[in-house]
Amino acid sequence: MTSSTMTQQSLRTMQATLVDRERLQHQATSQRAFRTPSEDPAAAATTLGVHGDQSRTAQYARNLSDGLAWVTTVDTALGASTDLLNRARDLTAQGANSGALSPTARESIAQELETISAELLARANTTVLGRSVFAGTSDAAVAFETGTFAFNGAAGDGVQRRISDNETVRVDFDGAQAFGAGADSAFALLNDIAAELRSGANVGARLGDIDDRLKEVISARGATGARQVQIERGMSQNLSVSTDLEARRVEVENVDSLEVLVRLQSAELVFQSALQVTARSLQTNLMEFLR
């Protein structure tokens, strides 16, 4: 073996040691097990799959958050509507006792019923970020028109949010189902009762009409509550999946800092030893140099 061969072999050994040390230094600073897929193809493929699952899970988390905002808004509006209709029922019951009421008292009840009708219409036109929560997929500014109480909602399945690979949930509610529409709406009903009170008619028969509308609103709130529970359950499951995916990513993609530091120190010792051994073994005298 010639001196040239020994020199080349020593240089290759030192270069390999330098490469290993540089790789360990990168792992120590970046906390990543590899820089390019070629360093560990199997781990890189697993990491890409985990990152894809994490992106999908993050999108579901955004859908769940948005869906919860919708159903919470619907539930709040329906809860307020229930209170308004209950108050309207009490007022109608008072107005039904026509013999004990003066025209002034009947007018006062009629005015309050009209006010409740307007408030109920405002609740039915509740929006989230400019979108009506009772008009389905319609892009109309309001679910119900003022005056005519015409319903602007779009027929169909309503506003859906995908919350997992195999699960979607409706986050709006059909306003026509809850409040009625046009002349058959709860708003028109209260205005009609107010007009009948002013005319001196007995409004006792209207109590059943209010009860029917109350049942629809309460039923709508129950359905919305079930969807809210579904979304909250989905949020819990999504968080669990997200935590598991992050644990998998860390296991494959990250390194053990203590282990890397120990290996880096070992590589440094190996490199220093290689330098010393090479310096001693490749001492060239004048005759070898002249050759």
Tens digit of each residue's pLDDT (9 = 90 or more) over 247-282: 887 777 766 566 656 666 676 666 666 666 666 665
Give the range of the structural domain holding residue 260, as residue numbers without chain letter: 256-291
Q: Do 158 and 202 fall into the same domain?
A: yes
Q: Do 274 and 199 fall into the same domain?
A: no
pLDDT band at 156 (very low <50, low <70, confident <90, very high): confident
Instruction: Please name every residue paired with 167 in a beta bridge, in sequence order, or none if there are none.
Output: 164
Q: What percent of the chain clears pLDDT 70, i.e. is strictly above it?
A: 73
pLDDT at 129 over 50: yes
pLDDT band at 78 (very low <50, low <70, confident <90, very high): very high
Calculate the average pLDDT of the chain.
Answer: 84
Q: For residue 289, what pLDDT is reported?
A: 47
CATH number at residue 122: 1.20.1330.10
Q: Do 277 and 173 fall into the same domain?
A: no
Q: Residue 195 — φ and ψ, nearest 5°?
A: -65, -40
Q: Do 122 and 159 fall into the same domain?
A: yes
Q: Do 245 and 265 fall into the same domain?
A: no
Evaluate whether residue 12 is within a structural domain: no
Evaluate whether residue 85 is within a structural domain: yes
Q: Do 164 and 283 fall into the same domain?
A: no
pTM, two decimals, is 0.77
Q: Do 116 and 133 fall into the same domain?
A: yes
pLDDT at 159 over 60: yes
Q: Do 138 and 79 fall into the same domain?
A: yes
Query: What is the mean predicted confidence (pLDDT) over 174-182?
Result: 95
Q: Do 245 and 157 fall into the same domain?
A: yes
